[in-house]
Structure 1
């Protein structure tokens, strides 16, 4: 991969992670109107026909072989239905700081550990050092907030769910990589979201009648559109395409931008305070990610040769 071309994919990862982080604030406002699972269902179900339209216009067909469809159904069940519900309930049963830390920090580690099961992707010393610095930074960002980290017994269910999100999320990301060697990121995203929507629908039964649809505000519609157009359609395509080019282990460390962006959103939109520890953590995180991004050309070339061997 050419050095100048590589930066496009790193920029895509940072942009998507920042948009996902800002969505914490957007979704928090939306939760005042919508049941959490219903809101997640609206996000993915509205985006689904747009994905299929884009796929048809770009590639001329939407078909997928039965074998790949079964694989994508499993990915959709785990990576959309299961992951979204687990995230929501981890937030419900533990503190926001606990959920943020356990959802995000271990994810890249599990991606690196499980990576050899799905692809030939080696861990370099640069990735280890940069990843460690970025993880230290994200821990400071989350723990430097008002809530801190609470290991009390009443939070244990939520803590375990949040840790499970990291494991499930890493596996779901990695499972997409082999399919994207045959099909485009757009085709893979379209179909696993479609299956995820199908499996999520039963969990929304009984919640539709609780929403006063006739009196929804502009803000409610805006939050849905932000989630559909920006956080789902744009974000999933860019993230999957960038992850395929950069490598899952390396790309997943860029998820550490999410909590930093969420803290920034809280500061600008909800007047939440930012501590010196959080600012210091942001510096650590950025330094780690920049260190990962400046991987030598020889390492990239060596990695490419090993993949083609």
Structure 2
């Protein structure tokens, strides 16, 4: 029987994870609007330039000045930070210029399965049959969303190009997330703040190069003012609030339970799109449902299998 303290911990953890997932779900539509005024490079610089300052302030209040030491890990943090904050954000924003926001949200929900595939490629940890089947089902669901049930839509290079950029960007974020496991003894707050600061170097370099070659421009007040709400949302809600709530929820619920909440990202994105008056194709709903079923099955079935093995071992 769960103790009252344990139940309260689960309730708090679940609410934090739900807040994070809903905030991330809203990020895609908000980004789509902001991209009408700002380019991916300047948006990324504004978002994580401000985010780095806030993450550092939170780290200072939580762990003190000593937590700002890199302890010889600067290069590793720079690589992970460049991958997560620079690669993910710029590729995501570029992708959203060509693909619908709802596609980005569905692709983002594949993070747990992408993580399993990366572990297979880099560490030789071959996924079990359940994960492989769930991955194939989820991919089929994503294809349904992108194509809306008409394979000829997959030949529309503009949208497909955007979807591929988002897939690569999401993979960058998965690599960044897996990096925390390589930083033994580091808290999630310290890892996030210092990797964001290190990755900001790459963001500024990319923005500078993009400005020189003419694909980016300085974010003037005329460009920023019309999307001030959207920028604030990306920094505060989809950035600081979502990351902080996610870290807190994972600490209380565990990584396996937390992954289930990734399902809420496409759900919230589709609900927001419907509220905004966008037409949602029936095949998109079918595809989103398949992705969610695959993620839930990949999380729940291994537990049932372990429980069955334990019961069988008990009665032998």
Indicate whether the TM-score tops 0.5.
yes
Shift of the 125–30 alpha-carbon distance from structure 1 to 2, 3 Å rule, reads same
Q: What secondary structure does 1:67 align onto?
A: coil
Per the alignment, residue 199 of structure 1 pairs with 202
Report whether the alignment pairs 1:223 with 2:227: no
Indicate if the aligned counterparts of 1:110 and 1:170 stay in contact, CA closer than 8 A.
yes
User: Which runs of 5 or more structure 1 residues have no equivalent in the other structure?
Assistant: 303-309
Post-superposition offset of 1:187: 1.0
CA contact (8 A) 2:52 2:197 kept: yes
Contact 2:144/2:286 (8 A) holds in 1: yes
- Where 1:182 maps in the other structure, the secondary structure is coil
Any conservation in 2 of the 1:95–1:155 contact (CA below 8 Å)?
yes
Q: How many residues align?
A: 294
Q: Could you tell me which residue of structure 2 aligns to residue 185 of structure 1? A: 188
Q: Any idea what SS the aligned residue of 1:150 has?
A: helix
Task: Name the counterpart of 2:41.
Answer: 37
Aligned equivalent of 2:179, options 175, 181, 191: 175
Note the 1:148-159 alignment, pairs <5 A. 149-152=153-156, 158=162
Q: Retained in 1: the 8 A contact 2:18–2:264?
A: yes
1:86-105 CA-to-partner distances (Å, cap 9, x unmatched) read: 2233344x544896389536
Return the index of the structure with the highest Cα Rg.
2
1:89 maps to what in 2? Answer: 94
Equivalent in the alignment of 1:67: 72
Indicate whether 1:247 and 2:251 are aligned.
no
Counterparts of 1:143 and 1:9 in 2: how far apart (Å)?
36
RMSD (Å), alpha carbons: 4.1
What is the distance in 1 between the residues matched to 2:174 and 2:47? 22
TM-score (norm 1): 0.74
Structure 2: 5+ residue stretches without partners: 310-316
> In 1, Cα distance between the equivalents of 2:195 and 2:14?
24
Matched-pair contact (CA < 8 Å) for 2:80–2:195: yes
Closer, same or farther in 2 for the Cα pair 1:240/1:74, shift >3 Å?
A: farther
1:108 matched to 2:108: no
* Cα gap change, 1:53 to 1:209, in 2 (>3 Å): closer
